[in-house]
Structure 1
């Protein structure tokens, strides 16, 4: 017999370790739970890097797991939470590592993804599953956990914490002139294949500078591949049009940069969802992943979508013939994105979100 779901949970556990974009998409679910049960404690077991992004999130107690510590790190968390029994554990990570970690957590009921959405046999580690849904966005999949518990107010709210020191860091890099943020690289994992071209980015930077008076700030991690790409982009750009901050910011600093930017351009990677969370106009570049599932949620209409063409070209199928969430793992797929299409989308995004000023009126 399945355990019943709590009607008035006093302590809710969330298990979601990674990644940066996904934890941003999960925050509205946290806010929905807080509105429904404002007195409930919420403990979020989260990855180390992801915690550095979300640290200070109001009303949330974080327990940080460093994936590099492996089983020893899990045991440390089990000891830390040995005397804690949660009313409900929301197991929101579809990975065997997270499921193993969940075994050492005490909870009256464990909720996971429905069988169609669960990966790595996650349904073996949970007692209740969210309601099946056809082709949901990642954000909606997370919100389904709150809906299963009885939450009806699913308005989207983030309210991320950005300290003053992060804004100081951002302004020291970007200066006073208006700018866009471009995060050209995604996570440098094996066979990720989400990065667009150096020449494409350089052309967009030139257009933003000459037609909109916007310089570009490049952001990203400190890996050799990211630094190399940033240097190559910068080398093709005219002086004053770009600031190369790749590898030179904290995650909170990137948040501050994005918060004060006119727009964000990025492939399927964390800063695209950071822009979405902060309400900054965001242009996502998609070919290897389906933007209907993974684009910045509030800016899906402005995503450049070469995914259907990539599926036809490299999988010899239509989008309707592949599984939801199917990736196109081909090194040339992102080359299907045309520079003129990105520029056209950027123009439309900037026009759609153009600040309006209302001058004083003279009344007789």
Structure 2
């Protein structure tokens, strides 16, 4: 199919927060390359507010299927559509089973290494494999369509909102928890870091997180001696964007909010042990990351990064202890 014959393109990505943000440069390249095509973005109701407001796209909001009957409900949702191109940018078993219910002349997925759970069975074409950051991996879809561009634009949409609880612009955001405790820096380390910041930099601290992070955030607020504004579980996605935009920097483990802050051009200190930040770190800010991945490989496997497979993950319960408070504080000081 020639480029001038493409009238409709759909992108499928229902989760998670960081992954959806990583698709935005690819989406923006496609919007510019195909100004006359109808662009659709298929995502979950949970994360649709993240990208609402992007011009010239139509959101198709779905609930991720949990039971067999949910797939037949989705079949009815997609019945009115017949896309020229479907970009299958999500590869797991639950999502792969959705693709047969979507009509499209071309279904383009990942290569066999990145297309998990036999995604290639459900697609007709695949992009080539490369060892690269996830943003570049998603840009591989626009490359595959023949779009030649070096621009990387997130243009994450947001509406300006005043957050009354915030201090002046002289504050740091700490988003302490990752999606798993294994990838979350110890609470005691956050408290010690905050106390160092209070003693030496005199900056206010704003804590953010989802409601399930409340125990960690409440403990940090209670046991540190700094002036803390605890917004954990109290912000919408749009409000969180506004909090990040007003901050001096964001400190977070490997998590969606870290990528949101990076997409909003805020300095981000990422705390990485499970995977190398070169692949999943805040895009364009790898030098700001604390990269304890080589230390973890040496401690637990007696290997170097060159000796393990691509995207090999460390999954040890105490691995985040390998990141010291001193090195994070030094990074904060150097960025400021």
TM range (shorter): over 0.9
- 2:260 — aligned with what? 274
Q: CA deviation at 1:208?
A: 2.9
- 2:304 — aligned with what? 318
Q: CA deviation at 1:239?
A: 4.7
Q: CA deviation at 1:76?
A: 3.0
Q: Specify the SS of the correspondent of 1:297.
A: coil
Say if 1:284 and 1:304, in contact at 8 Å, map to a contact too.
yes
* Residue 108 (structure 1) aligned with residue 105 (structure 2): yes
Instruction: State the Cα deviation string for residues 174-210 of structure 1 (Å, max 9, x = none).
Output: 132521111100114xxx6110011211222223333
Residue of 238, 252, 264 corresponding to 2:238? 252
Segments of 4+ in structure 1 off by > 6 A? none
Q: CA deviation at 1:68?
A: 6.0
Residue of 92, 97, 101 corresponding to 1:95? 92
Task: Describe how 1:41-190 pairs up with structure 2 within 5 A.
Answer: 41-67=38-64, 70-133=67-130, 135-164=131-160, 167-168=161-162, 171-188=163-180
Normalised by the size of structure 2, how large is the TM-score?
Answer: 0.95
Q: CA deviation at 1:323?
A: 2.1
CA–CA distance in 1 between the matches of 2:311 and 2:263?
22
Say if 2:7 and 2:84, in contact at 8 Å, map to a contact too.
yes
Task: Describe how 1:233-312 pairs up with structure 2 within 5 A.
Answer: 233-240=220-227, 242-312=228-298
CA–CA distance in 2 between the matches of 1:175 and 1:230?
18
- 2:34 — aligned with what? 37
- 1:195 — aligned with what? 184
CA–CA distance in 1 between the matches of 2:103 and 2:53?
25
CA–CA distance in 2 between the matches of 1:279 and 1:21?
15
| CA 1:58–1:153: 2 relative to 1, 3 Å | same
| CA 1:156–1:70: 2 relative to 1, 3 Å | farther
* Residue 14 (structure 1) aligned with residue 6 (structure 2): no
Q: CA deviation at 1:42?
A: 1.3
Q: Specify the SS of the correspondent of 1:273.
A: helix
Q: Specify the SS of the correspondent of 1:174.
A: coil
Gaps of 5+ in 2: none
| CA 1:61–1:228: 2 relative to 1, 3 Å | same
CA–CA distance in 2 between the matches of 1:5 and 1:46?
27
Q: Provide the aligned C-alpha RMSD in A.
A: 1.7
CA–CA distance in 1 between the matches of 2:203 and 2:6?
48
CA–CA distance in 2 between the matches of 1:87 and 1:103?
15
Say if 1:158 and 1:277, in contact at 8 Å, map to a contact too.
yes
| CA 1:228–1:5: 2 relative to 1, 3 Å | farther
CA–CA distance in 1 between the matches of 2:80 and 2:45?
23
| CA 1:8–1:284: 2 relative to 1, 3 Å | farther
CA–CA distance in 2 between the matches of 1:262 and 1:52?
25
Q: CA deviation at 1:5?
A: 6.2
CA–CA distance in 2 between the matches of 1:68 and 1:98?
8
CA–CA distance in 1 between the matches of 2:78 and 2:101?
9
Say if 1:65 and 1:73, in contact at 8 Å, map to a contact too.
no
Q: CA deviation at 1:264?
A: 0.6
Give the number of equivalent residue pairs.
336
Gaps of 5+ in 1: 351-364
Instruction: State the Cα deviation string for residues 53-93 of structure 1 (Å, max 9, x = none).
Output: 22222222111222265444433332122121111110011
